[in-house]
């Protein structure tokens, strides 16, 4: 079976996990700190805060930036549901924005402009498929209207452009991501006071950690805010260190395979298009294609499945889910809905070969 995503796991991950077990200290400790510093360094940041998911990370970004009840936050609908859920967690209102265009399925600046109100406090941009949003334009937009800018970088760890111009950024290490700790995430922030607030909120806003108390550096603690348990553990941090060391190499391999797919599809499937045609930089998280209008996607997916090729759809738009429909029935996003109706995600991960990709394209061609 050619899967759409597959973690790369080796002996080193096993040894890293064993060494944590041998150490006897499992919860957040020195390995988490080392992982945070290494991750920050790779992204040109001073520091980062490890969390137990990107969803938790997005929640912390919004909370630490002071976004709360009644505030509106512009979000794409073409993203994983966590992007909008996090806005709801702080009592704010997600305002769904269309994508720019079929070839550029990022949150649209033009549509965002139309959706600004006096309550708008922030924007979450999402680097769809690992292709970076134009952060310079978004920074100018947010500065012009006094908005907070948050990056959902679940698809884009290791990408140079990410985490540089926003107020806060959240990453995911879920199993299908470019690097994994099984479950996990990381946040970064432009201002150290935002990052420190996120660090506090991550562990119930307690003034000392379990490790500090264990070592006798503190005997008790105070609780200064309403916080959460969003801690990462030492096992995941140890695994994260191993994965991080290979992230850039894997991203490069993903880019090679994605460019290979793009060339092959361009040559042999003229009715199928591949978004982001002019974009160079990418963490190549997803291999997204658009089927010809009216193609029977369910039949195509079944045909590929029968040939041992897994496919998926990224994403069913959030505003179309029952929960969000019940709250925001009036939302209509024509470009997002059209994109969703044609989208198909093909297998892409560093363990694939060019022959695997050629087999996928050949099989898709036969079925079409
Ligand atoms: C765009 C996007 N945002 C947020 C998330 C949530 O990540 P996590 O599973 O680490 O909470 C995901 C994960 O699938 C995602 O793809």
List the domain boundaries for the chain: 11-243, 247-367
Please name the helix (run of DSSP H) or strand (run of DSSP E) that holds residue 101, with its range, or none: strand 99-101
pLDDT value of position 223: 95
> Which residues form the pocket of ligand 1, taking CB atoms under 6 Å from any ligand atom?
53-55, 79-80, 82-83, 126, 152, 154-155, 172, 174, 185
What is the DSSP annotation of 68-95? -TT-EEEEESSS-THHHHHHHHTT-EEE
Average of per-residue pLDDT across 299-316: 98
Please name the helix (run of DSSP H) or strand (run of DSSP E) that holds residue 139, with its range, or none: helix 135-145
Average of per-residue pLDDT across 117-124: 98
Instruction: Take atom 7 of ligand 1 and give the residue whose Cα is closest.
Output: 54
Architecture of domain 247-367: Alpha-Beta Complex (3.90)
Does residue 170 or residue 216 have the better pLDDT? Answer: 170
**Burial 237-271, CB ≥16 within 10 A → b, else e:** bbbbbbbbebbbebbebbbebbebbbebbeeebee
CATH for 11-243, options being 3.40.190.10, 3.40.640.10, 3.40.50.720, 3.90.320.10 = 3.40.640.10
pLDDT value of position 218: 83
Task: Give 281: exposed, middle or buried? Use CB within 10 Å, 0-12, 13-18, 19+.
Answer: middle
CA distance 52 to 357: 33
Does residue 33 or residue 280 have the better pLDDT? Answer: 33
pLDDT value of position 110: 98
Average of per-residue pLDDT across 30-59: 98
Q: Which of 353, 4, 1, 9 is nearest to 179 (CA)?
A: 9
Residue to mutate, 57, 82, 175, ligand 1, most ligand atoms under 8 Å from C-beta? 82
Q: Which of 126, 128, 149 is nearest to 138 (CA)?
A: 149
Q: Which two tokens stand for residue 279?
A: 């974009």
Question: Which candidate in 41, 177, 193, 342 is catalytic?
Answer: 177
Average of per-residue pLDDT across 81-102: 98
Residue 203 pLDDT greater than 80, yes or no: yes
Cβ–Cβ < 8 Å for 186, 48:
yes
pTM: 0.97
Average of per-residue pLDDT across 144-155: 98
């Amino acid at each position: 079976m050619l899967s759409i995503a597959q973690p790369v796991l080796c002996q080193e991950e096993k040894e890293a996990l064993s060494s944590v077990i041998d150490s006897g200290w499992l919860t957040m400790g020195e390995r988490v700190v080392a992982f945070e510093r290494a991750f920050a360094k790779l992204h040109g940041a001073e520091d980062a805060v490890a969390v137990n998911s990107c969803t938790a990370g997005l929640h912390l970004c919004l909370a630490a930036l002071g976004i709360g009840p009644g505030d509106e936050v512009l979000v794409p609908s073409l993203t994983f549901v966590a992007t909008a859920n996090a806005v709801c967690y702080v009592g704010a209102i997600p305002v769904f924005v269309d994508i720019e265009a079929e070839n550029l399925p990022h949150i649209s600046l033009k549509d965002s402009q139309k959706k600004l109100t006096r309550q708008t406090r922030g924007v979450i941009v999402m680097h769809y498929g690992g292709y970076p949003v134009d952060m310079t334009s978004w920074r100018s937009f947010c500065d012009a209207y006094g908005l907070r800018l948050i990056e959902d970088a679940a698809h884009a760890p290791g990408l140079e452009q990410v985490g540089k111009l926003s107020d806060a950024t959240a990453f995911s290490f879920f199993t299908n991501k470019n690097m994994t700790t099984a479950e996990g995430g990381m946040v970064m922030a432009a201002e150290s006071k935002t990052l420190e607030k996120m660090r506090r909120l991550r562990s119930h806003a307690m003034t000392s950690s379990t490790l500090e108390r264990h070592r006798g550096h503190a005997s008790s603690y105070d609780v200064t805010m309403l916080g959460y348990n969003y801690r990462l553990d030492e096992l995941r941090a140890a695994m994260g260190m191993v994965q991080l060391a290979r992230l850039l190499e894997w991203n490069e391999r993903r880019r090679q395979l994605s460019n290979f797919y793009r060339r092959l599809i361009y040559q042999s499937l003229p009715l199928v298009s591949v978004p982001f045609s002019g974009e160079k930089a990418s963490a190549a998280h997803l291999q997204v294609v658009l089927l010809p209008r009216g193609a029977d996607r369910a039949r195509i997916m079944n045909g590929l499945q029968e040939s041992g090729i897994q496919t998926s759809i990224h994403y069913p738009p959030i505003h179309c889910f029952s929960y969000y429909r019940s709250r925001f029935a009036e939302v209509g996003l024509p470009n997002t809905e059209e994109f969703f109706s044609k989208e198909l995600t093909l297998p892409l991960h560093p363990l694939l070969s060019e022959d695997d990709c050629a087999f996928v394209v050949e099989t898709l061609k036969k079925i079409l």
